[in-house]
Amino acid sequence: MYEDKELQEYRDLLKPPSHFEEGFDWKTIVGAIFIGFLMMPGSMYLQLVIGTGIGPAARWVTIILFAEIAKRSYTELKQQEVFLLYYMAGAALASPFQGLLWSQYLVQSDAARMLGLVEYIPSWVAPGPDSSSLVERTFFHRDWLTPILLLAGAQLIQRIDHFGLGYTLYRITSDVEKLPFPMAPVGALGTMALAESTEDRKTSWKWRVFSIGGMIGLGFGAIYVLLPIVSGLLFAKPIRLIPIPWVELTGYTEQVLPAVATGIQLDIGLIFIGMVLPFWAVIGGLVGLIITIILNPILHSVGILHRWHPGMGTVDTVFANNFDFYMSFGIGLGLAIAAVGVWHVVRSFGKSAPGERGSWKNLFNPPEGRGDFSIYISLGIYVFSTLAYVLLCVWLVPTFPWIFFLAYGFIYTPVVSYVSARMEGIAGQFVSLPLVREASFIAGARFFGYSGIEIWYAPIPIHNYGEATVHFRQIELTGTSLRGIIKAEIVVFPVVIIASLLFSQFIWRLAPIPSSSYPYAQELWHLQALNSLLMQTSTLEGNSLFFQALRGEYVAAGMGFGVLTYFLLMLFGLPIMLIYGVVRGLGQSTPHGMLLEVAGALLGRFFFLKKYGKSWRQYAPVLLAGFSCGMGLTGMFAMGFALILKSLGRLAY
C-alpha cells in the first residue's frame, strides 16, 4: 500500500502508555450533572442560532473549570479524570431529544406539505399537525408520549451497543493487526494539554498554545456570537457585524456563474480547522469546489441543471442542482470511494512487515490494566442490541419484510464495519457504502409491496462501527481504563435523557422553531427537510420525485470519475487524501466555508510548519481546542443572558 508521508507524521504524534487508571470519582459525577444541566442548553441554543453547538468547547470549558476548582482545593486532575470529563461531555452534548425539535418542524413544514407527505409521517415520530401540543409548543402532552419513550429506549440500546461490535473490531485491528490509527492522537492531545500540573505548565508548550487559542476564541466569539444575541434582546434588530451563517453572494454572481451558489462564511474557526485537517484533504476540497464552479454553468447551458433560475439563493440553488444532477453524481462518487476502500483493505492483507502484526492470542489476552473485558461479552452485546433493533423495527413497521432487518444487522453491518475499521487504522479515513439503506428500502417497496414512509424513521440496525475503533484507541492513548468509561456511561445516561427533554421543551417555549429567534434553523432547515423528504417519496406508490431525480448515467459518470481520479493520483504518486477532499468539494453542500479552511491549511503548511517544524502537528489540535473553548465561553454567556431575559419576559405576561 502507498505510504502517505503526511499520515506517517500523524502516526508518530503519540505512543500508547504503559500505565492505565480508571479516573472515575466524585468529580466525574459532578461533571456529568454540570455538563447536562449547564452545557447542554447552551449547545442546543447555539445550534439553532449559528449552526454549530458549543460542541468541543463545552468539553474544554468543563475541564478548565474543574481543573481550577481542583487547584483551589490543593489537588489536581489526573489525565484520566480529564479524559472522562471530555468523554462524558461528548456523550451529553448529543442531546437526543433535540431531535424532537426537528420532528415538530417536519410535520408542520412547507416541504412536507409541498411533497404531500404530512399524512404519511407516523405518529410515533411526531403528532399530526392538528395536535394541540404543536399549538401550545409543549412536549409534555400525551401525543408526545410514544415518540419520547421510543427515543429513550433507542438511546439506551445505542449506549449499550457502544461496547459491542465496535469494541471487538478495535481489539482485532489494534491488538491483533497492530494498525497505527494515524488520526487518533489528534483527539487525545487536547485533553493531555489540560491534564498538565501547575509546575508542568511553566515549562510545557501545551498550556501556552491552548491559552492563545482561547483568547482568540473569546475575542471572535464576542463579535460573532455575543453581540448579535445581546443586541437582539435590547434593540428591535440585532447588530450583526459578521453575517450569520454566511455572506450571500449568489445574486451578485448569477450572471457570470449561473447555477453556482456563491458566498463566504466568515467564521475564523474554519481557519483553525483547516490547520488541523490533513493538508491534501483540504486542497482536494478546493479542487472539488473549483470543478463545481467551472462545471455548473456548462451543465446549466446544456440543460442538465434546468431547475435553476436567476433570483435563487444558496439554499434553493443547492437543492435544485442536487435534484438535477449532483444527487446521482454523488452516489457514483460514494460508490467509487467505497470500492477504493475495499480494494485498499484487500491489498493491505499480508503487507505487514515481519514482526509488525500481532497474534490472534492477543484477542483473548489484552494488555494488563487497560480494563478490557471478554471478547465474548462484546459479541453478546452486539447480538442482543441487534436483535432489539430488529424487534423494534418489526413492531413499528410490520408491513416491511423482516428479513431485511436481519440482513442489515448480521451481514451488512459486520462486513462494512470491518472494512471501515481497517481504513481508519491504516489511513485515518472512514468508509461507507452510499445509499445501501435507501436502496434496500426501495427494493422492499418495489418487490415486496411495501408502501409508506415509516421505514425511514425506524431504528434500523444498519451501523458502521469503524469510527468506534478510533474512539477506543483514543481511550488507550490517554491511559484511561475501560472500566472508568463504562462507569461514566452509567452515570451520564440518565442525566442526558432528563436534561435533553427539559431543555428541548424550554427552548421551544421561548419561540417557534424555526423563526427569526433562531436564524440558522430558519435559513437551512427548509433545505434539509426538502432533501430528506425527497428521498422518502421513493417508497410511495406512483412516480415519486426521488426517481425523477435519480439518473443512472449520472451515477455511472460519478463512479467513473472517482475511480479514474484515484488511479491517476496513484500513478503520479500524489497523496491519496486528495481524492477524499475532491469528493467533499463535489458534495454540493453549502461551500461557503471552504475558502477559510484552505487559508488555514496554507497558513499551517507554508508558515507555521516551516517555523515550528514537525512540532506544529502537535500545536495545531491544541490551538483549535483553545479556540473552541474561547468560543464556548462567549456562547455560554450569551445563551445564559438570552434565556434568562426571555424567561423573565414570558413570566411578566
Return the pLDDT at 443: 79
DSSP string, 92-151: HTT-TTHHHHHHHHHHH-HHHHHTT-GGGS-TTTS--TT-HHHHHT-S-SGGGHHHHHHH
Does the structure show a pLDDT above 60 at 199? Answer: no
| 354: confidence class by pLDDT, cuts 50, 70, 90 | very low
pLDDT digit string (tens) for 458-485? 999 988 888 888 888 888 888 888 888 8
Contact 250, 263 (CB under 8 A): yes
Contacts with 493 (C-beta within 8 Å, 6 or more apart), sequence order? 91, 155, 156, 159
Contacts with 123 (C-beta within 8 Å, 6 or more apart), sequence order? 143, 146
Q: Is 557 helix (H, G, I), strand (E, B) or coil?
A: helix
The closest of 341, 338, 332 to 560, measured between CA atoms, is 332
Q: Is 195 helix (H, G, I), strand (E, B) or coil?
A: coil
Give ∠ CA 92-95-96 in degrees, rounded to 5.
120
pLDDT digit string (tens) for 387-435? 999 999 999 999 888 898 999 999 888 888 887 888 777 766 666 666 6
Return the pLDDT at 344: 65
- The DSSP 8-state label assigned to residue 454 in this structure reads G
Long-range Cβ contacts of 111-116 (<8 Å, 24+ apart):
111/526, 111/529, 111/530, 111/533, 112/529, 112/533, 115/530, 115/533, 115/534, 115/537, 115/545
Q: How far apart are CA 394 and CA 382, in angstroms?
A: 18
Q: Is 385 helix (H, G, I), strand (E, B) or coil?
A: helix
Return the pLDDT at 602: 94
Q: Is 185 left (phi over 0), alpha (psi -120 to 50) or beta?
A: alpha
Phi and psi at 285, nearest 5°, equal -60, -40
| Region 524-548 average pLDDT | 76
The closest of 390, 391, 445, 386 to 120, measured between CA atoms, is 445
- The DSSP 8-state label assigned to residue 247 in this structure reads E
Does the structure show a pLDDT above 90 at 586? Answer: no
Q: Of 43-52, 211-220, 597-606, which gets the smallest average pLDDT?
A: 43-52
| Region 205-232 average pLDDT | 85
Q: How far apart are CA 92 and CA 83, in angstroms?
A: 14
Q: Answer positive or negative: Cα dihedral of 543, 546, 549, 551.
A: negative
Q: Is 22 helix (H, G, I), strand (E, B) or coil?
A: coil
Contacts with 587 (C-beta within 8 Å, 6 or more apart), sequence order? 288, 326, 330
Q: Of 115-124, 438-447, 575-584, which gets the smallest average pLDDT?
A: 575-584
Phi and psi at 643, nearest 5°, equal -65, -40
Helix/strand/coil percent split, the chain, to 5: 70, 0, 30
Does the structure show a pLDDT above 50 at 96? Answer: yes
